[in-house]
Structure 1
Amino acid sequence: MTDAVLLMIGTRKGLWLARSDPARETWSFDGPHFLMNEVIACAVDQRDGKTRLLAGAMSNHFGPQVFRSDDGGATWDETANGAIRFPEDTGAALEQVWQLTPGLESEPGVVYAGTQPSALFRSTDRGETFEMVRSLWDHPHRKQWGAGYGGQAIHTILPGVTDPNAMTVAMSTGGVYQTENGGQSWAPANVGVKAYFLPDPWPEFGQCVHKVARNPNRPERLYIQNHHGVYRTDDGGAHWTSIADGLPSDFGFPIAVDPHDPDSVYVFPLVADSERIPPGGKPRVWRSDDAGDTWTELSKGLPEDGFYAGVMRDALTIDGSDPTGVYFGSRDGSVFASKDRGESWALVTGHLPDVMCVRSAVLS
């Protein structure tokens, strides 16, 4: 028997919290929180023996805000005038919070945020206030970063596993950037990643990377789900190699790595950028247990046909249970759960607003 699991489910019209029993068989729901707010970023911060829930919510009336809860979602706090504010001299304003990522265990107060327009922010008070990482905003490439279909934003933040001076971020569009000196400077890390829509399909930067993932026990190995393309690097991002062979399509949004096994990676393919539906109307998670050399279709318990909703970049997540739990939410408001590494699935809930993000945490 494992511990219970918490799911944070962000949608176009609010946030729902789902809690399982220890067997991960039944679920109870709490919500909506922030009704009619779009929630595309959320995080569970369990460092330092405390649990804080973070949600990036966008109100059409009040604008974007970071909310935080220290009592499991019973109450929420927000920062007056906004936790994230662009410096006046940038001439920019926060449009949306796309990513919230707790920092290292050794820095329990640090939380990072990725935003639209593409900027990286750092908090030292667990998400109450943030300061822009100015070196990335001032990067000479920034004026050439373009907007993807959903906007121009930083959607992936991977702090160094043991080194607080190292970090990988990714954006659409712009690609992957890394620092090894605490953000004093940033370098693109996109060699081998294709941007078929550009005149030069192999540029230094400008790729439409959809998501980057890794297992912290092997930080030099990272995986990309690209705008057409699935890639792996074994040298920390210096070179990327395609691992899309064996998949029904190389287009999709999420990618996730098993926290127990750096060779075990999950994707949710869609037909193409021009047909953003599962192939054949069949929702399928695909898993590789050999770092992308081969792939296995995981379908038991999922609909057999008539399913035409996509899964967004942060709407597939993995917990730390053993065996590993895998969860995804779709644009039709369905949330599915697997408690056996994707070998079988069960519907957790349906008919929510379209799901934008799902985050999981084991409740010990």
Structure 2
Amino acid sequence: MAKQVLVLLGTKKGAFIAQSDTARRSWKLRGPYCETWPMNHLVANPATGTIWGAGGNEWFGPAVWKSTDLGETWTHSSNGLAYAEGEEPIKAVWSLGSANGSLYAGVQPAGLFRSDDAGESWQHVENLQKHPSRPHWNPGGAGLILHSLVIDPNDHGRIWIGISAAGVFYTGDGGKTWEPRNLGTRADFLPEGENYPEFGQCVHNIVMAPDMPDRLYQQNHCGMYRSDDGGKRWISIEKGLPSTFGFPAATHPRDPETLYLVPLNGDSAGRFVPDAKAAVWRTRDGGSNWQAMRNGLPQENAYIGVLRQAMATDRLDPAGVYFGTSSGALFASADEGENWTNIAQHLPPILSVETLVVDS
């Protein structure tokens, strides 16, 4: 049976879907969906085709949207997405992850919620906020956000989260207990001598290598890192990159040694691609060596940024790689980053990119 590739886009003005066959040469764009709510992250269940969207802001409030017909129609729910009375209200849902019939949502201000009915209702995973470090969590530039959710596909009780700017936290029992896992990651913005704290790092993104649940990659405000023991210790892999600063990271669907990044020129120099020349940087050996992939990307006056969730790969062979920019352009490669094409432009700022491969 023929297959279709869907690229799921969360933007500041609703959700969009780019769709193609497996040749990935011609694309059709659909949307905007979700009543043009700010949509921070779209994810899909590859087994059922259900799509969920994390949305909202301080004006709309938080909600998770759902489509069971590949984006043609949507419903949404905020049932249970609230802290106790008297606590700071939730502004938005920022990240989603699913495993073993449960759906998890990361919110702002940072906290974790779980749904056991496909997003119709939510329960607070409250022990995360009971961690002793919680009074000392400080917001990143966009606020105190739980933006990364990584779930072990073989053991759904193992979950890693990233919070800006509190760092990486891990649970091995489905959220009953939590521990910080930041050893080896820097916090250059702290006073000298305090740059390697137990928590307080500004993690930007965490991704898991395929078939290696203890191999994690982390793009941080202060460097690029790899862990081979589930985050207990991180090693720097930023040598060879043009910058220690960036937001997104995407793993290859089958090769745990292959990773894609879009470094930016620094936190205080404009936050666009270095020298205004767009490149996706690829490693084939776990970060020991890096190569800039530029063919088809703009190499002049490209003052573009790519946000933390706005990069993804598909599961085809060869793998497709996709990234969206804060200026509303979507780029795609059908050959693992060797060549690139602009498949959509003039969209609202793109906040997230994920993929779904389905039967036609």
TM-score normalised per structure 2: 0.96
The answer as to whether partners of 1:8 and 1:16 remain within 8 angstroms in 2 is yes
Counterpart pick for 1:98 among 94, 97, 110:
94
CA RMSD of aligned residues (A): 1.5
1:129 pairs with 2:121: yes
Identity between Structure 1 and Structure 2 (%):
41
Matched ranges for 1:314-325 at <5 A: 314-325=309-320
**1:84–1:338: structure 2 CA closer, same or farther, 3 Å change rule?**
farther
Regions of 4+ moved over 3 Å:
59-62
Partner of 1:160: 152
Q: Which residue does the alignment assign to 2:173?
A: 181
How far does residue 62 in structure 1 lie from its aligned partner after superposition?
A: 3.3
Are the equivalent residues in 2 in contact too, given 1:36–1:59 (CA < 8 A)?
no
Question: How far has the Cα of 1:250 moved from its partner?
Answer: 1.2
Aligned partner of 1:209 in structure 2 is: 203
Q: TM-score, normalising length from structure 1? A: 0.95
**The one of 334, 341, 345 aligned to 1:339:** 334
1:285-325: CA deviation from partner (whole Å, max 9, x where unpaired)? 00000000000100000011111110000000111111110
Q: How far does residue 89 in structure 1 lie from its aligned partner after superposition?
A: 4.6
In 1, the alpha carbon distance for the partners of 2:60 and 2:189 equals 36
Q: For residues 275-354 of structure 1, what are the structure 2 equivalents within 5 Å?
A: 275=269, 276-354=271-349
Alpha-carbon distance in 2 for matches of 1:293, 1:2: 38
Deviates more, 1:60-69 or 1:15-24: 60-69
Q: CA deviation at 1:84?
A: 4.4
CA–CA distance in structure 2, aligned partners of residues 83 and 29 of structure 1 = 31
Q: How far, CA to CA, are the matches of 1:280 and 1:231 in structure 2?
A: 23
Q: Is the 8 A contact 1:190 1:240 kept in 2?
A: yes
CA distance in structure 2 between the aligned counterparts of 1:235 and 1:67, rounded to whole angstroms: 35
- The aligned runs of 1:186-201 (5 Å cut-off) are 186-199=178-191, 200-201=194-195
2:131 counterpart of 1:139: yes
User: For 1:316 and 1:52, how far apart are their aligned partners in 2?
Assistant: 20
Find the aligned partners of 2:58 and 2:88 in 1 and give their Cα distance: 18
1:59 Cα offset (Å): 5.7
Q: Distance in 2 between matches of 1:123 and 1:46?
A: 18
Could you tell me which runs of 5 or more consecutive residues in structure 2 were left unpaired when the two chains were aligned: none
Residue 229 of structure 2: aligned partner? 235
Deviation at 1:234, TM superposition (A): 1.0
Give the C-alpha shift of residue 35 in structure 1.
4.4
Instruction: Decide which moves more: 16-25 or 260-269.
Output: 16-25
> Offset at 1:69?
0.6
* Correspondence for 2:140: 148
1:3 and 1:23 in contact (8 A); partners too: no
**Residue deviations 1:135-181 (CA, integer Å, cap 9, x gap):** 10111111111110111111111112211221111110110111112
CA distance in 1, matches of 2:298, 2:151: 37
CA separation of 1:322 and 1:165: change in aligned 2, threshold 3 A = same
- Output the CA distance in 1 between the equivalents of 2:275 and 2:252: 27
1:85 paired to 2:78: no
Provide the C-alpha distance between the structure 2 equivalents of 1:161 and 1:296, rounded to a whole number of angstroms.
30
Deviations along 1:105-128, one digit per CA (max 9) or x if unpaired, are xx2x21110010100111111111
Figure out how many residues of one structure are paired with residues of the other and give that number: 356
Q: 1:155 to 1:83 in 2, by over 3 A?
A: same
Structure 1 unmatched ranges of 5 or more: none
8 A contact 1:310–1:330 mirrored in 2: yes
Distance 1:110 1:36 in 2: 26
Question: Measured at CA, do residues 323 and 90 of structure 1 come closer, stay the same or move farther in structure 2, by a change above 3 Å?
Answer: farther
Q: Indicate the SS of the match to 1:88.
A: coil
Q: Distance in 2 between matches of 1:237 and 1:348?
A: 36
